[in-house]
Structure 1
Amino acid sequence: MDRKWIYYVGLGLVSIIWGANFGVSRSAMETFDPILFTFIRFGGAIPFFFLLLKLREGSVGITWKSALKLAVIGLIGVTVLEIAVMYSIKYTTLANASLLNVAPWPIFAALLAPLFVKEKITSRLAVGGAAAAVGVVLIITGGGDGLDLSSEHMIGNLLALGVSIIGALFNLACMPLMKQYSALRVSAWFILFGALFMFPLTLGSWGKVEWASLGAGHYAAIGYNILICTLFAFVVWNACMFKIGAARANFFRYIVPASAVVVGYIMFNEQVTMLQLGGGICIALGLVWIGMERQQKPGI
Structure 2
Amino acid sequence: MAPNDGAANGNPAGAGPARSLALLAYLAAFAGVCGHASSEFVVKLTQLQGAEVTVWRFMLGGAALVLVSLARPQTRDLITPLRENFVQVVGLSIFGMAFAQFLFHWALDYASVVQVATMVTTMPIFVVFVLRIVDGTKITAPKLVSGIGAFLGCLFLLTDGVLDRLDGGESSLPGILLAVGCAIVGAIYLVLVRPLIKQYGAIRMTTYTFALGAIPMWFVAGFLWGVWVDPTTLFDRPSDQAAALITLGMWNTCIGFILWLWGLGNVPDPARGNYLFFLKPVLAALLAYFILGDTITVPQLLAILAITGFVLGEIFFDDIRAALGRAREEKAP
Q: State if a TM-score over 0.5 links the two structures.
A: yes
Q: Give, in angstroms, the shift of residue 218 of structure 1.
A: 1.7
Match of 1:21 among 27, 30, 39: 39
Task: State the Cα distance separating 1:156 from its structure 2 match.
Answer: 6.2
1:165 aligns with 2:188: no
Judged with a 3 Å threshold, the aligned counterparts in structure 2 of structure 1 residues 144 and 262 are, in CA distance, closer, same or farther, namely farther
Q: Is the 8 A contact 1:103 1:136 kept in 2?
A: no
Q: Which moved more, 1:74-83 or 1:188-197?
A: 74-83
SS at match of 1:194: helix
Q: 2:58 touches 2:249 (CA, 8 Å); kept in 1?
A: yes
Q: Which residue of the other structure, out of 60, 64, 72, is the alignment partner of 1:44?
A: 60
State the AA in 2 paired with 1:82.
Q
Q: Which amino acid in 2 is paired with 1:56?
A: R
Q: 1:143-194 CA distances to partner (integer Å, 9 max, x unpaired)?
A: 7974879xx9887665444323211111112211111122111111222211
Number of the residue aligned with 1:219: 242
Amino acid at match of 1:74: S
Unaligned runs of at least 5 residues, structure 1: 295-300
Residue aligning to 1:177: 196
- Shift of the 132–161 alpha-carbon distance from structure 1 to 2, 3 Å rule, reads closer
Q: Does 1:260 align with 2:260?
A: no
Aligned to 1:298: none
- Over residues 4-54 of structure 1, what are the superposed CA-to-partner deviations in whole Å (9 max), with x where a residue is unaligned? 78766555443332222222221312xx44322211112112332222222
Q: How many matched pairs? A: 287
Closer, same or farther in 2 for the Cα pair 1:232/1:115, shift >3 Å?
A: farther
Residues 103 and 78 of structure 1: CA distance in aligned 2, closer, same or farther (over 3 Å): closer
Alignment partner of 1:189 out of 208, 230, 244: 208
Residues 87 and 225 of structure 1: CA distance in aligned 2, closer, same or farther (over 3 Å): closer
Partner of 2:69: 53
- Give the secondary-structure state (helix, strand or coil) at the position aligned to 2:294: coil
Paired residues of 1:77 and 1:166 also in contact (CA < 8 A):
yes
Counterpart CA distance in 1 for 2:24 and 2:143 is 19
Amino acid at match of 2:77: V
- The Cα offsets for residues 209-259 of structure 1, whole Å up to 9 and x where unpaired, read as 98666333223212221111111223344456678679993x654433222
| 1:57 match: secondary structure | coil
User: Whose Rg is larger?
Assistant: 2
Which of 229, 232, 245 is matched with 1:206 structurally?
Answer: 229
Q: Tell me which amino acid in the other structure corresponds to 2:289.
A: Y
TM-score normalised according to structure 1 size: 0.72
Query: 2: distance between equivalents of 1:11 and 1:120?
Result: 27
Q: Residues 148, 199 of structure 1: CA spacing in aligned structure 2 closer, same or farther, 3 A cutoff?
A: same
Report the RMSD for the aligned CA atoms in angstroms: 4.4
Contact 2:57 2:245 (8 Å CA) reproduced: yes
Q: For 1:47 and 1:167, how far apart are their aligned partners in 2?
A: 22
Letter aligned with residue 183 of structure 2 = S
Q: Does the C-alpha gap of structure 1 residues 195 and 232 become closer, same or farther in structure 2, counting only changes over 3 Å?
A: same
**What secondary structure does 2:77 align onto?**
coil
Deviations 1:195-220 (A, max 9, x none): 1221223444337x986663332232
Rounded Cα–Cα distance in structure 2 between residues aligned with 1:141 and 1:148:
11
Q: Which whole-Å CA distance do the structure 2 matches of 1:177 and 1:81 have between them?
A: 18
| Aligned residue runs from structure 1 range 66-77, under 5 A | 66-77=85-96
Partners of 1:39 and 1:224 in 2: how far apart? 14
Match of 2:101 in 1: 82
**Residue 229 of structure 1 pairs with residue 252 of structure 2:** yes
Contact 2:116 2:176 (C-alpha < 8 Å) held by counterparts: no
TM-score normalised by L of structure 2 = 0.66
Q: 1:137 to 1:274 in 2, by over 3 A?
A: same
2:193 match: secondary structure: helix
Name stretches of at least 5 consecutive residues in structure 2 with no aligned partner: 1-18, 319-333
Residues 5 and 282 of structure 1: CA distance in aligned 2, closer, same or farther (over 3 Å): farther
